[in-house]
Chains A and B, each alone.
Chain A
Amino acid sequence: MLKEIGIKDSDELFEVIPRNMLFKKNLDLPPTTPEYQVRRHIEQLLSKNKDSSELLSFLGSGCWPHWVPAVCDEINSRSEFLTAYTGDVYSDLGRFQALFEFQSMIGDLVAMDAVTSTTYDWASAAGDALRMAVLVTERHEVLVPRNMSPDKLSILSNYCGNVAHIQQLQYEPRTGQIDIEDLKNKISEKTAAVYVENPTYLGVIETKGKEIAEITHEKQALLSVGVEPLSLGILAPPGEYGADIVCGEGQPLGLHLSFGGASAGFIACRDDEQFLSATGHRLISITTTKRKGEWGFTFVLPERSMYVARDKSACLTGTGTLLWAITGAVYLSLLGPKGIAELAEAIMKTSYYAMKRLSEIPGVCVPIFQSPHFEEFTVNFDGTRSSIGEVNKALLKHGIQGGKDISLEFPELGKTAMYCTTEVHSKDDIDKLATTLERVVK
């Protein structure tokens, strides 16, 4: 090949790089290693991790433990999906169709007609949703809930902080839900959007969605609602109570925990050109072909994406999380309409059982808020002498991973941790938590 290129030594090809810029030493990296040793080395490292078969965990907070049907892994391991990238509809029809189907299922869940390709995670989707609202309304203030995760607020601010002034809405101390009076006081003609979450980071179901939407729309602002999608098996879809934009996290839809490394943010909105023009995310539409009865797909308004609009794009496009969207489509079609309702109810049952059991422990208050809960709930230890750190350390000795300590994130809640139970937790698991907790708190 060198001969055909017309050179004697491959170094000649690198002469396009000025000599002084070349790295002349050897990289300080491990030597070339055969597969067997690579596998053995990494497996030995990974074996130091305690996974959910060894550790009974009650963590959620943005990464929820759910049962993953085997078909999900089977499909996302298919190398035709796994190793593909950006082919068009003629080479990659399967990808386009699976993504259209995912968009459709999210549309059904949230009751919205337009859904974009998935982005990195819920938080970045929430940030992009607010950028969309700013462009649509040409206003520059957004109201976000105090009961959201501070980490998510930080991410969201990194996305929309320079186009919108971000103000926080208080929650009612009794219910944990949005304080309607505070919303009325803070919303104005300058408000581009109100963002609320349902269920909230604190596990509470927001029951006043319709009222929030009405107050928001009175000021011609937009309502953006962030959701955990499985909850929509039983909760009213945001599109029905007045949301203009919906965002959420795809991790519960057939993805593993993977140390927080498998997330996918989705955005749904009104099927309105003004909204769609205000996002840079890809939009796949169904279409027909020259052959009768044949489906095709095409990108909608492709000139919006950063690939064309560059610095005029409304948000980042680029590599997203489409393998997870394909997986989500598999997961939701396995569940179907009845399955998702049953699953959401099953999750709620484990959480209600856990709340009941833990509330029987002296000094422990579960949950703090008088509201319906889904999947997660607050556990307060103010009536004990133990700190959350001490409790979790003691639980760990019994093979239990306690909830996330939120006492620094929400100092007003005292010594509080977020606990999560889902369909993967059995009665025995929860009983073990309750009896161990009772033993270890002082």
Chain B
Amino acid sequence: MMEPVQPSKQETYRGVVWHEPIIYELSKCGRRGCAVPTIDPGIEAVVGDVLSNIPQDARRKDAPALPELSEPEVARHFIHLSQQNYGTDSGNCIGVGTCTMKYNPKVNEALARSAKLARIHPLQDQGTVQGILEIMFRFGRWLCEISGMDDVSLHPRAGAHAILTNARIIRKYHEVKGELDQRDEIITTVLSHPSNGAAPAVAGFKVITLYPDETGTPSLEALKAVVSKHTAGIMITDPYDTGVFDKNIEEYIRVVHEAGGLAAIDQANANSILGRLRIGDIGADLCHFNLHKSFSTPHGSSGPGSAPICVKKELSRFLPVPAVAYDGTNYSLDYDRPDTIGKTADFYGVIPNLVRAYAWIMTMGADGLRETSEVAVINNNYLIGRMLKIRGVTLPWREHHPKRMQEARFSLQTMKEETGIGIDALNRRIVDLGIQKCFTAHHPPLVPEPLTPEPVESNSREDIDQFVDAIQKISDEAYSTPSLVEEAPHNCAITQIDPSPATDAKKWAMTWRAYLKKKQPI
């Protein structure tokens, strides 16, 4: 018997098409999805009609127009929706660079969902939560070791939140020194994650943004030109989302320190330097890690994330309260920080993610972390080599930075000019091939028609080949049958959307009730 010829995945993939109605369309008057816990008749007898305690004006008159469905209908609806979603477990997410889409180990999930964590209240007597406090304390020490810093706050709930926390600490530092009125500027770089500009602005700083020169990084002279007595600090990402490691980082930090400012370095791209470079060792005063990137906690369809900050001991006094303390016998929540910036979020952080990341670090160990960065960087440079053989794909700043760290920002400008197919069309087409769309670039995209993939350590060579083969196929299509790409997607849950509600107030509807009001001709 002849061995069957395996068709390629690219040719045979079909997205799940359910045409799932909006849940309100499934609603049937009188259906119920659950029974509310019953109240003991003994309670009923004592309290009577409790609603009569609320004045009529303050009571709800019409029930909310929530959908009415049975439990099986609710379960099936959301299962259908989940089947039309694509995570790292679904398939190839290499395209989603800067997001470090690594595998999320299942044992970490089981631990994070343990009843021993799910069912404890943050204000319980601290003697009854020693286990979680011990995990938090030890985990914080590990992050200090990994970053070369002295102290930690586990509170921040995402990268932008961590950067806001760092910006508040920088403010407080200058305020305590009596220099806040003078020091009202934060310097960042345009290739840093946009939250390095947005968060200090929210914290009340003026933001100065440096642009790269022809080498792909800002020059030291550009930094020196903007550093002054007004400089409160520098807040940048290194390595950048272009995969370039900015060699000037140590000099930037020195220059800013000499001017009296602080350096907060965003470690969102730490996956390529784990165990090899500690930002604290080269002078940074503050940093943060995204546990949902480098430390394998799931991205949760965009959160909850978790982004602890690490700082040098001089800044410990400003950290959010409470910190986790250990006196040799007991763990406790320590609120005794007179110079704290206060609180930046409710309670103590995204605790389940701390447990997941604790489990990941323990699984990997010190050697495993070094291996993580090694494999991630090998994977990326292998990908770069293959990508650059594809027609229409270029790597800006290649002559200055032929090798990259965790990711690389390619350009489809040539392809766009030669075929009309750019990144938007490619992103619609790649989904047809059973692969998650690619990250482009944050604004302003200095690289035209940008494409930023990031193969992480949990991706195999076969994963990388599958991704590059898909880009190759789309390139071939762009040069032979561009309309096939332009009209994509063809094999997905839906066809091309009408984008006009994005900017048309008469059409947009963020809720079903708004849609029902607007669907009639105005």
With both beta carbons as reference points, the residue of chain A lying nearest to B163 in the complex is identified as: A316
Interface membership of A385, Cβ < 8 A: no
* Interface size grouping (class) on chain B: 35 or more
The segment from B70-78, B226-234, B475-483 that touches chain A is B70-78
Interface membership of A409, Cβ < 8 A: no
**Residues of A contacting B132 in the complex (Cβ-Cβ under 8 angstroms):** 45-46, 49, 259
**Residues of B contacting A33 in the complex (Cβ-Cβ under 8 angstroms):** 362-363, 365
* Pick from B58, B346, B378, B403: contact of A205, CB under 8 Å: B58
CB distance from A80 to the nearest CB of B (A): 4
The segment from B80-88, B254-262, B409-417 that touches chain A is B80-88
Interface membership of A411, Cβ < 8 A: no
**Residues of B contacting A15 in the complex (Cβ-Cβ under 8 angstroms):** 403
* Pick from B47, B82, B101, B382: contact of A81, CB under 8 Å: B82
Interface membership of A378, Cβ < 8 A: no
**Residues of B contacting A45 in the complex (Cβ-Cβ under 8 angstroms):** 131-132, 134-135
B23, B96, B344: residue with the most chain A Cβ atoms closer than 10 Å: B23
A317 to B158, CA, bound (A): 10
**Residues of B contacting A299 in the complex (Cβ-Cβ under 8 angstroms):** 502
With both beta carbons as reference points, the residue of chain B lying nearest to A48 in the complex is identified as: B131
With both beta carbons as reference points, the residue of chain A lying nearest to B73 in the complex is identified as: A333
- Asked if residues B67 and A336 are in contact (CB atoms below 8 Å), the reply is yes
**Residues of B contacting A53 in the complex (Cβ-Cβ under 8 angstroms):** 115, 119
- Asked if residues A71 and B40 are in contact (CB atoms below 8 Å), the reply is no
Q: Which residues of A, 304-335, contact B by the 8 Å Cβ criterion?
A: 306-313, 315-324, 326, 329-330, 332-335
With both beta carbons as reference points, the residue of chain A lying nearest to B348 in the complex is identified as: A260
Given contacts A86-B439, A90-B431, A210-B57, are A335 and B66 in contact (CB under 8 A)?
yes
Chain A proximity mask over B418-437: 1 for CB below 8 Å, otherwise 0: 00000000011001000011
CB distance from B281 to the nearest CB of A (A): 6
* Interface size grouping (class) on chain A: 35 or more
- Asked if residues B381 and A55 are in contact (CB atoms below 8 Å), the reply is no
- Asked if residues A273 and B505 are in contact (CB atoms below 8 Å), the reply is yes
**Residues of B contacting A152 in the complex (Cβ-Cβ under 8 angstroms):** 346
A152 to B85, CA, bound (A): 35
- 26 interchain pairs, CB-CB under 8 A: A2-B378, A12-B403, A18-B247, A23-B275, A43-B114, A52-B121, A69-B33, A69-B71, A77-B109, A80-B83, A81-B87, A91-B437, A92-B301, A109-B66, A236-B58, A259-B132, A289-B497, A289-B498, A293-B19, A310-B194, A321-B303, A322-B303, A333-B74, A338-B68, A339-B36, A352-B53
**Residues of B contacting A63 in the complex (Cβ-Cβ under 8 angstroms):** 121-123, 346-347
- Asked if residues B158 and A318 are in contact (CB atoms below 8 Å), the reply is yes
- Asked if residues B510 and A114 are in contact (CB atoms below 8 Å), the reply is yes
A423 to B368, CA, bound (A): 46
- Asked if residues B461 and A1 are in contact (CB atoms below 8 Å), the reply is yes
- Asked if residues B343 and A296 are in contact (CB atoms below 8 Å), the reply is no
With both beta carbons as reference points, the residue of chain B lying nearest to A341 in the complex is identified as: B63
* Pick from A38, A82, A310: contact of B104, CB under 8 Å: A82
With both beta carbons as reference points, the residue of chain B lying nearest to A431 in the complex is identified as: B42
Interface membership of A398, Cβ < 8 A: no
- Asked if residues A287 and B501 are in contact (CB atoms below 8 Å), the reply is yes
Q: Which residues of B, 125-174, contact A by the 8 Å Cβ criterion?
A: 125, 127-132, 134-135, 142, 145-146, 148, 157-161, 164, 168
A157, A256, A286, A423: residue with the most chain B Cβ atoms closer than 10 Å: A286
- Asked if residues B74 and A14 are in contact (CB atoms below 8 Å), the reply is no
**Residues of A contacting B361 in the complex (Cβ-Cβ under 8 angstroms):** 29-30
- Asked if residues A298 and B499 are in contact (CB atoms below 8 Å), the reply is yes
With both beta carbons as reference points, the residue of chain A lying nearest to B513 in the complex is identified as: A107
- Asked if residues A5 and B378 are in contact (CB atoms below 8 Å), the reply is yes
- Asked if residues A259 and B120 are in contact (CB atoms below 8 Å), the reply is yes
A114 to B512, CA, bound (A): 10
Interface membership of A415, Cβ < 8 A: no
* Pick from B44, B302, B442, B508: contact of A307, CB under 8 Å: B442
CB distance from A120 to the nearest CB of B (A): 4
Given contacts A83-B87, A285-B508, are A27 and B369 in contact (CB under 8 A)?
yes
CB distance from A358 to the nearest CB of B (A): 12
CB distance from B35 to the nearest CB of A (A): 8
Interface membership of B387, Cβ < 8 A: no
With both beta carbons as reference points, the residue of chain A lying nearest to B503 in the complex is identified as: A301
